[in-house]
Amino acid sequence: MRDLVSGLTVSKNVQVIAAGDSIRRHVEQRDGATIVRVPTFGAVASMPVTPTLPWELMRVRPELVHVQVPNPGAALAICLAGYRGPLVITHHSDTLGRKCLKRFSDPFVNEMMRRADRIIATSHRYLESSPELAPFKSKCKVIPMGIDFEVEADATIVESEKIVRQYGPRIVLAVGRLVGYKGFIYLIEAMRKVDATLLLAGTGPLERELKGAAEGFGVNGKVEFLGRVDHLQGYYRASSVFVLPSISRAEAFGLVQLEAMAAGLPVVNTNLESGAPEISIDGVTGMTVAPADADGLARAINALLADPELRRRMGEAGKVRARQEFAPELMVRRTVELYEEVLDERRGESSVENRTATASQLRE
């Protein structure tokens, strides 16, 4: 969102409406845009409760609205505000689970999807496999996410050398929230057959369970839980292999593997019905294995650790792919082109309506 907004502000007047972290309305200027953080009264099933959102939408009178989903609160606001203008949606993932919430939210979420002029999917695989997108496939377009690749600084080199001294030269890196769909339990199990150190960066509700699993599998001596890591560049540079072991479509894209590719790391990912295996390509920028397969993960990791030339070749291919296909300016350009398509179609419809009305008046 930050990269998209900062890119759009070069040619567009952009206002972002987002949930705040208090019951006060807060406005700031950032990345060339006006950011309005609306009052938020807690959350229900991870959805911020933002009752003033419809009024914010009516107050702005936008030329076009772009909504990021899943976001039932925004869908409700669109319906309550009576917004009928140009509407673009980025569908990051289906809403998985939360059956009680879906019974309440599906009517207005479906209405927002029906009203949308275009729906952006972030990968072809997710578009093809999504039951939520299936009824609206004719107006969907794939625009992959882009990220602003950090330039490696001297400090990164120093930090990476320190990491290698601490953990050794054979480092396997994984990054993400410690939740079930990330599949870290299978990666930890795989480490029984891997002669390397696994660095796992992230926090989450399964931290204690995963640490217990590491002990149970007898690998707690070669699995390090790093907790929250704000700057990963040193770890990317110090590592030999990056692993994204996710086991469900809740992993819709896997942005961290794109960061690893940009840093020149080969990636081991899983064959999900989502964008994850579409980002890092099996046999080109890394290896793809079956989900929930600890032995498959171990074989792929070991194959890469045993072959420095293969790692180098796949790492270089990953760098090229990341910069050619997932640069933020490419994402921005494709999005702006989509906006212009929508606005041109709306202008055309308005012109036809005006001509029809004029002809009717002349007949009268």
pLDDT tier at 358 (50, 70, 90 boundaries)? very low
Average pLDDT over residues 130-150: 91
d(CA 324, CA 337): 18
- For residue 99, CA distances in Å to 46, 79, 105, 127 come to 13, 21, 10, 22
In tens, the pLDDT along 114-135 reads 999 999 999 999 999 999 999 9
Q: Is the pLDDT reported for residue 149 higher than 50?
A: yes
d(CA 256, CA 244): 8
Average pLDDT over residues 64-84: 93
Token representation of residue 286: 């890394």
Share of the chain above pLDDT 70, in %: 93
Q: Are 177 and 204 in contact (CB under 8 A)?
A: yes
Q: Is the pLDDT reported for residue 45 higher than 80?
A: no
In tens, the pLDDT along 276-322 reads 999 999 999 999 999 999 999 999 999 999 999 999 999 999 999 99
Q: Is the pLDDT reported for residue 11 higher than 90?
A: no
Q: Are 88 and 66 in contact (CB under 8 A)?
A: yes
Full set of structural domains in the chain with CATH: 2-147+328-359 (3.40.50.2000), 154-316 (3.40.50.2000)
Q: Look at residue 362 in the predicted model and tell me its pLDDT.
A: 42
Among 107, 104, 111, 105, which residue's Cα sits nearest to residue 89? Answer: 111
Peptide bond between residue 72 and the one before it cis (omega within 30 degrees of 0): no
Q: Look at residue 270 in the predicted model and tell me its pLDDT.
A: 98
Among 239, 228, 115, 85, which residue's Cα sits nearest to residue 173? Answer: 239
Q: Look at residue 153 in the predicted model and tell me its pLDDT.
A: 67
Average pLDDT over residues 137-156: 84
Average pLDDT over residues 49-61: 91
**H or E, element range at 35:** strand 33-38
In tens, the pLDDT along 254-280 reads 999 999 999 999 999 999 999 999 999
Q: Look at residue 97 in the predicted model and tell me its pLDDT.
A: 67
